[in-house]
Amino acid sequence: MTSKEAVAKAIHAVVNDLSVETILGLIEKPKNSDMGDLAFPAFSLAKTLRKAPQVIAAEIAEQIDAQQFEKVVATGPYVNFFLDKSAISNQVLQDILSNGSYYGNQDIGQGRNIAFDMSSPNIAKPFSIGHLRSTVIADALANIVEKLGYQPVRINHLGDWGKQFGMLIVAYKKWGDKAAVEANPISELLKLYVRINAEAENDPSLDEEAREWFRKLEAGDAEATELWQWFRDESLVEFNRLYKELDVSFDSYNGEAFYNDKMDEVVDLLQEKGLLEESEGAQVVKLEKYGIEHPALIKKSDGATLYITRDLAAALYRKRTYDFAKSIYVVGNEQAAHFKQLKAVLKEMGYDWSDDMEHVAFGLVTKEGRKLSTRKGNVILLEPTVAEAVARAQAQIEAKNPNLPNKEAVAHAVGVGAIKFYDLKTDRMNGYDFDLEAMVSFEGETGPYVQYAHARIQSILRKANFIPDGKSDYQLNDSESWTIIKLLQDFPTTINRAYNHYEPSIVAKYAVSLAQSFNKYYAHTRILDETPERNSRLALASATATVLKEALRLLGVEAPDEM
Ligand code: ARG
């Protein structure tokens, strides 16, 4: 039973009219913790009881069974509860020390699958910051749902199909150089792509040629397929290098091309259900009744399929293959209209499971306050940027702790963690400015700050030679440790909230508060001094380290034991 539930039960015993459920919904946390740990506002009872809320609060406080609490007092219209610090600290610390990293695990999902459409860069194009955000946010959400008992399925829906591959084949056949592509796949292929697009402006026959090659590709022509496969393989070598740096992996790389032979079925189904209409030679589904003005374009007049056609096939395939409880698309907010259409078309087809599909969107990243734009040269190249973050982390470690063993590994954990954490601590719909200096700083609400708090606790525990034990009594009743105990107690519900809002920032902000509270505690309390509380204080430190490490793990960030 949580403390909130205990409070709700105690109130219910006095005010039978209100169910425990209702009371749970009314209980608040007083703004100032001097006022108590939990508060029940009596306003809602004033009408039925025909008394002033102040009077009701006083009556409840008097009648309540206060034994299990430190004290219960009425303050104006509120009944304020002061929890029993010693009992709760003991309960929370034992819970964490005996469960270790499993603390906070829940079995809400009962092993059901949740599909994550994530990362999904485009072949032969640079991996953008948007793709990074998708990768990092989805990976964190996947860890979070796993902790709640679901089985995440990480799907990299590669952009590996479309007319642009016709363009690329034509360009490569005209101007390509195998060795150059192999040395620098994405930048070489991008150059070819840019060049053919520029030349096609004056020479429309190139466009026609490209369309022809894409048709061949769609039909399985050997030469076209071989080139396409090679572009894809070479691009993936580059992407995988980055994924390895980021320590992210996928269960599936089934991208758009995978659905090439699965789109006829979708089109047939739409036809059978009478949903396809002709519009200027193209096949569309009208979605006005969903408040969507633009029809979904399923097939162009030349018979070519589109992005959404592949997403429809993918949605069906995923439902069949994974029987998902949820199917989550972590994609930039600029594609919101696309995902609205996608869901509406499936709903129109009679698939109520489309309600389980969620577009988890996110905002744009800027650099020096300006929008990123390949054309204007305001770009962030991920691989060198990650390397730079690691180098900066290494320089700081060098200055702080020159004798640290495994300096490279720690610098990697800190540098990569810094980039991820900075992204994840932001409410996802907000963008942020990509500021490497701020990211890698050991001060502020950063990954390194949290990692450092964790490493410092580990060093205290090493010094004390403390072996945590989930059976001993660990009681604390001072107000500084109480702040930490309450945060530790909140960890499980924090994970639920993060899932309910698809918002890893809730976990990131939590980790920052926990690290801050512990640092404050550490500044005021001589943990290692020989006092009667010594073991309880060390238990508190150990539990904090466990939860910090687990919170970081959920975010895909490592927590080195020394740094
Ligand atoms: N490749 C696309 C892009 O880079 C993202 C794909 C998102 N996923 C999806 N199922 N449509 O914009």
Our answer on whether the CB atom of 159 is closer than 6 Å to any ligand 1 atom is: yes
Burial class (CB in 10 A: 0-12, 13-18, 19+), 352: exposed
Q: Which residue, by CA, sits nearest to atom 5 of ligand 1?
A: 120
What confidence category does residue 379 fall into, taking pLDDT thresholds of 50, 70 and 90? Answer: confident
Residue 220 counted as domain residue? yes
Our answer on whether the CB atom of 329 is closer than 6 Å to any ligand 1 atom is: yes
The H or E element containing residue 23 is helix 20-26
The pLDDT of residue 1 is 77
The pLDDT of residue 333 is 97
The pLDDT of residue 472 is 84
Q: Write the pLDDT tens digit of every residue in 465-477.
A: 998 877 789 999 9
Q: Write the pLDDT tens digit of every residue in 167-193.
A: 999 999 999 999 999 999 999 999 999
Co-location of 427 and 519 in the same domain:
yes
Strands (DSSP E) found in 361-443: 365-367, 370-371, 432-433
> Which range, of 296-305, 329-338, 401-410, averages the lowest pLDDT?
296-305
- CATH code, domain with 76: 3.30.1360.70
Residue 353 counted as domain residue? no
Atom of ligand 1 nearest to the CA of 331: 7
Choose one of 120, 135, 250, 329 to mutate for the ligand 1 pocket test, by most ligand atoms within 8 angstroms of C-beta: 120
Residue 298 counted as domain residue? no
118 CA → ligand 1 middle, Å: 8
One DSSP character per residue, 31-86 reads SSGGG-SEEEE-HHHHHHHTS-HHHHHHHHHHHS--TTSSEEEEETTEEEEE--HH
Q: Last residue of a domain, which of 235, 269, 285?
A: 235
Buried b (16+ CB within 10 A) or exposed e, 160-171: bbbbbbbbbbbb
Token couple for 96: 């964490």
Our answer on whether the CB atom of 311 is closer than 6 Å to any ligand 1 atom is: yes
The pLDDT of residue 262 is 97
131 CA → ligand 1 middle, Å: 9
Give the whole-number percent of the chain exceeding pLDDT 70.
100
> Domain residues for 508?
394-554
Full-model pTM:
0.95
367 CA → ligand 1 middle, Å: 22
Co-location of 537 and 427 in the same domain:
yes
Q: Which residue, by CA, sits nearest to atom 3 of ligand 1?
A: 121
Residue 510 has, within 13 A of its CA and on its CB side, a CA count of 27
Q: Write the pLDDT tens digit of every residue in 425-440.
A: 999 999 999 999 999 9
Q: Write the pLDDT tens digit of every residue in 316-365.
A: 999 999 999 999 999 999 999 999 999 999 999 999 999 999 999 999 99
Atom of ligand 1 nearest to the CA of 131: 4
Co-location of 67 and 180 in the same domain:
no
Co-location of 168 and 48 in the same domain:
no
Choose one of 306, 335, 340, 372 to mutate for the ligand 1 pocket test, by most ligand atoms within 8 angstroms of C-beta: 335
Our answer on whether the CB atom of 157 is closer than 6 Å to any ligand 1 atom is: yes
Co-location of 537 and 448 in the same domain:
yes
Residue 530 counted as domain residue? yes
d(CA 553, CA 342): 33
Co-location of 438 and 526 in the same domain:
yes
Our answer on whether the CB atom of 494 is closer than 6 Å to any ligand 1 atom is: no
Q: Is the alpha carbon torsion for 487, 491, 493, 498 positive or negative?
A: positive
The pLDDT of residue 304 is 83
The pLDDT of residue 89 is 96
Split into its structural domains, the chain has a count of 3
Residue 41 counted as domain residue? yes
Cross-strand bridge partners of residue 122 = 159
The pLDDT of residue 471 is 79
The pLDDT of residue 377 is 77
Co-location of 189 and 61 in the same domain:
no
Q: Write the pLDDT tens digit of every residue in 186-212.
A: 999 999 999 999 999 999 999 999 999
Token couple for 563: 């740094």
Co-location of 424 and 538 in the same domain:
yes
In angstroms, how far is the first alpha carbon of the chain from the final one? 38
Q: Check whether 517 has a pLDDT greater than 80.
A: yes
Q: Cα separations (Å) of 199 from 167, 194, 542, 555?
A: 11, 9, 64, 45
Co-location of 403 and 524 in the same domain:
yes
Q: Check whether 541 has a pLDDT greater than 90.
A: yes
- CATH code, domain with 437: 1.10.730.10
Q: What is the mean pLDDT of residues 411-428?
A: 98
Q: Write the pLDDT tens digit of every residue in 31-55.
A: 888 899 999 999 989 988 899 999 9
Q: What is the mean pLDDT of residues 107-125?
A: 97
Q: Write the pLDDT tens digit of every residue in 247-261.
A: 999 999 999 999 999
Please provide the average confidence, as pLDDT, over all residues in the chain. Answer: 95
Query: How far from chain centre, in Å, is Cα 189?
Result: 31
Residue 482 counted as domain residue? yes
365 CA → ligand 1 middle, Å: 17
Co-location of 499 and 411 in the same domain:
yes
The pLDDT of residue 469 is 79
Residue 119 counted as domain residue? no
The pLDDT of residue 336 is 98
d(CA 97, CA 535): 13
What confidence category does residue 373 fall into, taking pLDDT thresholds of 50, 70 and 90? Answer: confident
Co-location of 399 and 522 in the same domain:
yes
Q: Last residue of a domain, which of 83, 105, 140?
A: 83
Choose one of 133, 153, 331, 339 to mutate for the ligand 1 pocket test, by most ligand atoms within 8 angstroms of C-beta: 331
Residue 379 counted as domain residue? no
Q: Last residue of a domain, which of 216, 235, 254?
A: 235
